[in-house]
Amino acid sequence: MLTDELRAEVASLKERRDAVILAHYYVPPEVQELADHVGDSFALAKLAATLPCGTLVFAGVSFMAESAKLLSPDKTVLMPDPAADCPMAHMVRRETVDAARERYGDDLAVACYVNSTAEVKSWSDVCVTSSNAVSIVRALPQRNVLFVPDRHLGSYVADQVGEKNVILNDGCCPIHRDIAASEVRALKAEFPGAPVLAHPECGPEAMALADFAGSTSQIIEAAVAGSARDYIILTVDGVRGELERRTAGTGKRFHFPATRPACPDMDRITAERLVACLRDGSGEVGLPPSEVADGARAALTRMLELGAR
């Protein structure tokens, strides 16, 4: 539980550092409570570039803070725990990208899920998030699209954009991949008629049981707008806090698989580490080498441009 003293300390430290705290939906609930803004990757990426502050504290994993620094190079970006990483962010080999470019030439675009390192982004033509991947891939002039790193989100995009040849990379989010279809079926039996809202990072067996697929923000919006009482949620359990906040007083209930979908890296972001990074200025995120930063920033900027259309 957060104390009044801790809240007051955070407020004082934010003022001293001219800081804004951004938190992803997947970090622990007490961190979300301390944040100025809570959102998914796309919302936070857009916001980070526009905030009139000197310091951004990014309560999330490293690729998120790195993207914020790329889009706001003049701001100080701090991470409560720099060791909080994303396994999927590293699941791309340069050889895969080079081979696709050699095969398809100018009729290939590399669409890079924002859940990736700056180096991987720099190999790409455009970044995407789960909320805009379909619309951005559809808008690309090239017919052939190499989608990296997540094969599950890429497969979902391929199903939605049949006019494109979407080439998949062998990467995935282990947390979403491991959501078992058997546990989803058990929830459906326990709560008949409950809509199944799934993140497209889930594997194909779980996705086949979904009534709705979308980004974390889109899942939240679907649950808020829906008329059902019970909802089966197939994404990281950290989103429960925002779901409950947004539907307080409605009687809506949210059910997650029996094997809790928890991200150990997101769970590293604690209130204590958040305070320590504000107090000490620790966990500062630097820019990668210019050749990497320039390419990655270009891919992120194109995402923001296409996503605004």
Question: Tokens in use for 100?
Answer: 């696709």
Read off the pLDDT of residues 174-205 as tens digits, 9 standing for 90 and up: 999 999 999 999 999 999 999 999 999 999 99
| Percent of the chain surpassing pLDDT 70 | 100
For residue 309, the model assigns a pLDDT of: 67
Name the least confident of 18-27, 37-46, 68-77: 37-46
- Quote the pTM value: 0.93
Give the pLDDT score at 7: 94
With vertex at residue 129, the alpha carbon angle to CA 126 and CA 131, rounded to the nearest 5 degrees, is: 130
Q: Residue range 258-275: average pLDDT?
A: 96
What is the amino acid identity at position 60? Answer: G
Residues contacting residue 15 through CB under 8 Å, at least 6 positions apart: none
283: left (phi over 0), alpha (psi -120 to 50) or beta: left
- List the one residue out of 296, 291, 297, 309 whose CA is nearest residue 140: 309
Reported as a single tens digit per residue, the pLDDT across 91-135 is 999 999 999 999 999 999 999 999 999 999 999 999 999 999 999
pLDDT beyond 90 at 44 = no
Res. 40 pLDDT band, cuts 50 70 90: confident
Euclidean distance between CA atoms 225 and 247, whole angstroms: 9
